[in-house]
Structure 1
């Protein structure tokens, strides 16, 4: 089958022997919105205000713009190649086995830890009603033995819903996302309608910590964390009814919708704050003895009904995001198995067309994450660093495939040549840098562990009867310099325990030159055109892109 033939049909209700295509436009869009609106928005308005002051509004807009650049790159890929686990499989097509395993491992680590942290966030807020769910460990809430048992039950429920089928997942998620959107809109309207103090936006200064406070809050105060999830429309593209239309709308639409919501919420939060809370400045803003800042503010404003709604939503919103990430994580391990970088059993489908072995692995891995990270605050830094690093490969794949398969049909193609893909790659590197060395070093250690596992697995699969694909080390030549360079720059930077040898201002051009060098290296050494053509035809045929 030629590549052109393989492109013709992508909207069949079910791929023969493959995943079902049951997810419609609204379901795909709401998967992205539901993934983005998790536990982050419940903390983000307060933590961003502390670091940036009223300029937190700029943080949400700038952070959303950076995420949009990255999202646009994935929208082009997802519309062109709608396949489940696309974020993992795209690098394999452009750069081969070594690069795809490394980026896939980072993706999978990030995604696998989200369901556990969202369960922890839900149970932390549920402690308002059920005190025995958590306890204090050095001032940080962590799960008790009983809370851990409830958390295991949540993960098991997410897994059961996924095993039953993606259609049930879509229906459950759509209802929960409508709930999330209504609650946030109610909060914004209630805060704006009850109290609004214009002086809060300038009386203590607008950008209280300058540009440094704005960009630091993007990485560490919950801004980027609150935008995570936009790629879910790409990862579930192989189960969408009309992916070439639905994927770009889902990716771009989910970012736009949530950006508008977050900016409105931040404005309402700043305007509603009683003036006495700002006596000691924005960095000292706090709500003592409260489970959540928005609920505490609602109580201060005489809105106990709104506080009750928020405490209820603080259980529902994170639980929905955990459900979504259980789905997405299983599709990533499914995709890695399809790439040949993971055991083939992870690609095994049930009669309902869902990767049930991957779902079981996701459940077990979630249980493991509870051991070193028993509380929300203890896990969030790792997830942030891993996820923003995983964004980087997408723009590079866009650049590589444009050069290797320029005649490939692209239902959604970005304008301006390499400008948007490069800015997207640059943005992802900046966010990793801003996250800080203390967090980044833990991630790089985890990546090294993954590379050791990959080496062991590759050696076991070599030989005349080995079934592993070629390593394609030349095509993945950029991976080592990229990760090592980011680690060094992070260690030299001024954020999160870095040495501050590389100052805040100079970091922008240095990261720019570094990003451009890696971008050019990846484009120069990506797989040959004939290899990419052949792989694309095989993959698309396997996904059901066949002539009717």
Structure 2
């Protein structure tokens, strides 16, 4: 870490990132531990319908990504997600969104570290408590903390060097899944296994697998290119191309991986049904299947990749999360110290905070799938603002130049918002209770600090612009309680619950649009942001 004499509170970030660097930054954020475990967990939940889960997930994420692609070109800045919330609903919502975005980014490197030690536990049984469904031991916890520290140190490099390292890693991360797909398809001898064990899976599983199996989690990294928007010389062109291109590339790989995984199974693996899918080496699913099929070289390759793929994703999420914190300090929605840069023009305080809090997040979710559920829910919650902000910007600044313009936004943006809320709902009542409780506690602490410590007026807080969050969060939580997923009461059956979430999402979006800033306020906010360039 650089010495204090090289620190600056503000300054220019280096604009060294090109189109390939941004594309690979998002791609490597998407192809991480999700591909190592997602197909296995999806198969247990949805059986052969898990192939449809990956397709549905890709369509949903692409809808959301298109909204962000247009917005990102309007906010070509690092940490642009923070600036979007300020421009649509003002400082009040902007401060809350900083908190939510941080909670979405900070646990991802932790879950990637857990994936690494989970695979390593197959040949060094020190990191996972035996018979605990993947819970970390004390040794595993320490190993994860050290891995997070290494990732943080790498993030202190010049951004050009960091992206060069990442590009090399990404080529590897594309090659290994493709080699796995080809190897498993060629070696498989039970292609009719897709019809095995009928009646042991349900249609509803195809949708609940989206959050529960880590499918949506696997697609979440497309925003990394947006987070680095202030570090590319041609953001208006590069960011939309990187966002859309990374989703397409990841979708093709993930769908083919699920097909290859299912065809590599044998009827014996499904003797007790898809939910009880079991085979030797299942703690490292693809490596276990490769070994079973006699593909020793592939098993070795996959164990090596179990370090590289999650490590690369964790690396980019610390990068993206630190830029969110940088923008938080830049917009004075948090401590100004978060905007401090080292001699490499990297926000070092933000990187340090990502490491410290990431270690803390290993405690409440000491297992890969447990943390994935939470990350999916909180991240998709932050996605929900994208479609809303897009429509606000279209309404308030209709003549603003848009290098990328989303087709049929009045229809597709609300549809993206509905899909976001469905994913949160499918995460289940237990996870959503934890999520909304965490958000509520953070909001109360912040409101008390704002009014009692800073002694600022309620009008400055922006209550009018944030009031719609209560029916949004509260309504989704109530629907989760009434539904039958993840501990819900099961009052609303499958199908009707989808309709209920859809109707409520439309109501919330109308409330959000009516609560947004007007044209003049948005123009003033954009002018204020330009002063920080």
1:297 aligns with 2:250: no
Instruction: Give the conservation status (yes or no) of the 8 Å contact 2:122–2:281.
Output: no
**Partner of 2:125 in structure 1?**
131
Residue 406 (structure 1) shift? 0.8
Residue 301 (structure 1) shift? 0.7
Instruction: Give the conservation status (yes or no) of the 8 Å contact 1:163–1:356.
Output: yes
Which sections of structure 1, spanning at least 5 residues, go unmatched?
1-15, 544-548
**Partner of 1:5 in structure 2?**
none
1:191 aligns with 2:191: no
Mapped partners of 2:266, 2:113: distance in 1: 32
Q: What is the CA deviation profile of residues 161-219 of structure 1, one whole-angstrom value per residue up to 9, with x for unaligned ones?
A: 222221221011111111111100110000111125332223444x8634311111112
Mapped partners of 1:195, 1:145: distance in 2: 39
Cα–Cα, structure 1 residues 19 and 470, in superposed 2: closer, same or farther, change >3 Å?
A: farther
Instruction: Give the conservation status (yes or no) of the 8 Å contact 1:392–1:428.
Output: yes
**Partner of 1:525 in structure 2?**
515
Q: What is the CA deviation profile of residues 203-239 of structure 1, one whole-angstrom value per residue up to 9, with x for unaligned ones?
A: 444x863431111111211211111211111111111
**Partner of 2:232 in structure 1?**
240
**Partner of 2:308 in structure 1?**
316
Mapped partners of 1:467, 1:239: distance in 2: 36
Residue 138 (structure 1) shift? 4.7
Instruction: Give the conservation status (yes or no) of the 8 Å contact 1:159–1:326.
Output: yes
Mapped partners of 1:121, 1:433: distance in 2: 25
Which sections of structure 2, spanning at least 5 residues, go unmatched?
1-9
**Partner of 2:3 in structure 1?**
none
Instruction: Give the conservation status (yes or no) of the 8 Å contact 2:214–2:369.
Output: no
1:495 aligns with 2:490: no
Mapped partners of 2:30, 2:524: distance in 1: 35
- Root-mean-square deviation (CA, aligned residues, Å) is 2.0
Instruction: Give the conservation status (yes or no) of the 8 Å contact 2:23–2:243.
Output: yes
Which of 440, 443, 467 matches 2:435? 443
Mapped partners of 1:138, 1:435: distance in 2: 25
1:78 aligns with 2:98: no
**Partner of 2:4 in structure 1?**
none
Mapped partners of 2:242, 2:412: distance in 1: 19
**Partner of 1:101 in structure 2?**
95
Instruction: Give the conservation status (yes or no) of the 8 Å contact 2:330–2:532.
Output: no
Residue 289 (structure 1) shift? 5.0
Residue 503 (structure 1) shift? 1.8
Which of 97, 105, 113 matches 1:111? 105
Mapped partners of 2:131, 2:487: distance in 1: 21
Q: What is the CA deviation profile of residues 136-174 of structure 1, one whole-angstrom value per residue up to 9, with x for unaligned ones?
A: 165233444444333232222222222222122101111
Residue 530 (structure 1) shift? 1.0
Residue 460 (structure 1) shift? 5.4
Cα–Cα, structure 1 residues 81 and 469, in superposed 2: closer, same or farther, change >3 Å?
A: farther
1:343 aligns with 2:335: yes
**Partner of 2:162 in structure 1?**
169
Residue 480 (structure 1) shift? 1.4
Instruction: Give the conservation status (yes or no) of the 8 Å contact 1:97–1:341.
Output: yes
Query: For 1:410, what is the secondary structure of its paired residue?
Result: coil
1:122 aligns with 2:116: yes
1:473 aligns with 2:466: no
Mapped partners of 1:459, 1:369: distance in 2: 29
Which of 316, 321, 326 matches 1:329? 321
Residue 433 (structure 1) shift? 0.5
1:47 aligns with 2:41: yes
Of 428-437 and 347-356, deviating more is 347-356
**Partner of 2:532 in structure 1?**
542
Residue 467 (structure 1) shift? 12
Mapped partners of 2:501, 2:468: distance in 1: 16
**Partner of 1:212 in structure 2?**
204
Instruction: Give the conservation status (yes or no) of the 8 Å contact 2:90–2:525.
Output: no
Residue 511 (structure 1) shift? 1.3
**Partner of 2:28 in structure 1?**
34
1:358 aligns with 2:358: no
Residue 418 (structure 1) shift? 1.0
Residue 541 (structure 1) shift? 4.1
Q: TM-score, normalization: structure 2?
A: 0.94
Of 99-108 and 530-539, deviating more is 99-108
Residue 409 (structure 1) shift? 1.0
Query: For 1:533, what is the secondary structure of its paired residue?
Result: helix
Mapped partners of 2:279, 2:209: distance in 1: 19
Mapped partners of 2:256, 2:369: distance in 1: 25
Mapped partners of 2:516, 2:283: distance in 1: 50
Mapped partners of 1:101, 1:424: distance in 2: 23
**Partner of 1:151 in structure 2?**
144
Instruction: Give the conservation status (yes or no) of the 8 Å contact 1:96–1:471.
Output: no
1:508 aligns with 2:498: yes
1:483 aligns with 2:473: yes
Query: For 2:129, what is the secondary structure of its paired residue?
Result: strand
Instruction: Give the conservation status (yes or no) of the 8 Å contact 2:213–2:369.
Output: no
Cα–Cα, structure 1 residues 502 and 103, in superposed 2: closer, same or farther, change >3 Å?
A: farther
Query: For 2:128, what is the secondary structure of its paired residue?
Result: strand
Mapped partners of 2:43, 2:16: distance in 1: 41
Which of 419, 426, 430 matches 2:422? 430
Q: What is the CA deviation profile of residues 282-317 of structure 1, one whole-angstrom value per residue up to 9, with x for unaligned ones?
A: 222112454311111111111111111111111111
Q: What is the CA deviation profile of residues 409-446 of structure 1, one whole-angstrom value per residue up to 9, with x for unaligned ones?
A: 11111121311110110000000001100111000111
Cα–Cα, structure 1 residues 288 and 429, in superposed 2: closer, same or farther, change >3 Å?
A: same
**Partner of 1:179 in structure 2?**
172
Instruction: Give the conservation status (yes or no) of the 8 Å contact 1:461–1:467.
Output: no
Cα–Cα, structure 1 residues 226 and 416, in superposed 2: closer, same or farther, change >3 Å?
A: same
Q: What is the CA deviation profile of residues 361-392 of structure 1, one whole-angstrom value per residue up to 9, with x for unaligned ones?
A: 11111121223333324422221221121211
Q: What is the CA deviation profile of residues 449-483 of structure 1, one whole-angstrom value per residue up to 9, with x for unaligned ones?
A: 210232133125645xx699932221222111111
